[in-house]
Amino acid sequence: MSQTLAPAGAPDVGAPPTPDSLIHARGLTKRFGELTAVDGIDFDVAPGESFGFLGPNGAGKTSAMRMIGCVSPISGGTLRVLGMDPVADGPRIRARLGVVPQQDTLDTELTVRENLLIYGRYFGLSRAEVSKRADELLEFAQLTERAGDQVEHMSGGMKRRLTIARSLINEPDLLLLDEPTTGLDPQARHLLWDRLYRLKQRGVTLVLTTHYMDEAEQLCDRLVVMDKAKIVAEGSPRQLIDRYSTREVTELRFAPGVQETLDGQLDGLAERVERLPDRILLYADDGEAAVAAAHARGLEPEQVLVRRSSLEDVFLRLTGRSLVE
């Protein structure tokens, strides 16, 4: 067994050893004509890991996922999925993937159960085997009572659960989820997170994209932050917060018009001060101390909120922009 050194330029934090990687990407690039959707990104995903792409719409997350899913040819760089080359072995790789696309691709004419049955057949499963797995997955997705209903009449949350159930019909080694909870109400999201968390505990390797901070914090062991087709940071949610933010954040809201008059009065109040259109963020490990300092300077905010730092703050720091506009 030879020890493999991480290639130059590889992410230094949390990068798993390359030989075991389920996904291995170096300089991965996707171009659509003039537009570069993914611009030379490097990452590895280890077995059993839960890995996230975090970034705003248009950052290149979906393009990266489609390349990993072997349904979109790469424009440059290297990509290995399950140790194979997507160009030469697309169907063999896809046989071992589960895919939850951003847009539902269910057959709305068929019933819930029929959607699972026919999908299993695409993986070459026998009718008997697929029938057994469909029953288990309906149970897992809490759709047993709806098994005979036509998909067209189901809610968005149920369709998402069915899509996740469908993606598991081939017992995949790697599950790809592109914005799994976008557009769902909070209750439906929490149910979905719970199901995904169970999969993670069973050792299924998850790769997901999201522009929700809380989703990334809940589900990802490790993530990369993408902005404008590039990876701008990598690490666990905790590491990223430690590295790019402070322990606490203080949010100050002023009466309308006041914030614009505060030039110079905020300097030095905290390690870092961010001005958003509607509020001011003070980055300091001790939020209460920052509030006291502000009051000592005679500032009179209408609202004060001291909270723990989140990935949202990391993103703001890295890109100067909010994640969800």
Question: Under 8 Å CB-to-CB from 2, ≥6 apart: which residues?
Answer: none
Q: Which stretch binds other proteins (CB under 8 A): 113-121, 250-258, 263-271, 274-282?
A: 113-121
Member of 26, 31, 121, 230 binding other proteins (CB under 8 A): 121
* Binding range to other proteins, per CB under 8 A, among 117-125, 141-149, 195-203, 270-278: 117-125
Of the candidate residues 51, 119, 254, 283, the single one contacting other proteins (CB under 8 A): 119
Q: Does 36 bind other proteins (CB under 8 A)?
A: no
CB atoms within 10 A of CB 109: 10
Helix (H, G, I), strand (E, B) or coil at 21: coil
Nearest to 188 by CA among 248, 141, 119, 241: 141
- Hey, which residues between 76 and 95 contact other proteins (CB under 8 A)? 90-92, 94-95
Per-position DSSP letters for 155-220, written without gaps between them: -HHHHHHHHHHHHTTT--SEEEEESTTTT--HHHHHHHHHHHHHHHHTT-EEEEEES-HHHHHHH-
Bridge partners of residue 282, in order along the sequence = 250, 273
204 lies in the site for other proteins, by CB under 8 A: no
> Which residues is 51 bridged to in the sheet?
207, 222
* Closest to 236 measured CA to CA, from 60, 13, 6: 13
Buried b (16+ CB within 10 A) or exposed e, 219-246: bbbbbbbbbebbbbbbbebebbbeebbb
Residue 96 or 253: which CB sits closer to other proteins? 96
Among 52, 55, 60, 69, indicate the residue that binds other proteins (CB under 8 A). 69
Task: Specify the residue for token string 């695409």.
Answer: 122
Residue from 66, 80, 133, 189 touching other proteins (CB under 8 A): that is 66
Task: Give the range of 9-17, 66-74, 182-190, 201-209 binding other proteins by CB under 8 A.
Answer: 66-74
Q: Which of 75, 76, 85, 123 binds other proteins (CB under 8 A)?
A: 123
CB of 99 to other proteins, least distance (A): 4
Here's the x/- map for other proteins, 157-196, by CB under 8 A: it reads as ---------x---x--------------------------
Shortest reach from residue 170's CB to other proteins, in Å: 8
For residue 138, give every residue at least 6 positions away whose Cβ sits within 8 Å of its Cβ, in sequence order, or none.
Answer: 112, 113, 116, 144, 147, 165
Q: Which stretch binds other proteins (CB under 8 A): 120-128, 130-138, 276-284, 301-309?
A: 120-128
How many CA atoms within 13 Å lie on the side-chain side of 250? Answer: 24
Q: Which of 10, 84, 118, 262 binds other proteins (CB under 8 A)?
A: 118
Q: Does 60 bind other proteins (CB under 8 A)?
A: no
Of the pair 66, 200, the CB lying nearest other proteins is at 66
Based on the shown chain and the rule CB under 8 A, indicate whether residue 322 belongs to the binding site for other proteins: no
With H, G, I as helix, E, B as strand and everything else as coil, classify residue 325.
coil
Annotate 276-291 with DSSP letters as a single string. Answer: -SS-EEEEES-HHHHH
- Smallest distance, other proteins to C-beta of residue 192, A: 19
Q: Is 106 in the site for other proteins (CB under 8 A)?
A: yes
As to burial, measured by CB atoms within 10 angstroms (0-12 exposed, 13-18 middle, 19+ buried), residue 26 is: middle
| Residues in touch with other proteins (CB under 8 A) | 66, 69, 71-73, 90-92, 94-95, 97, 99, 101, 103-110, 114, 118-119, 121-124, 166, 170
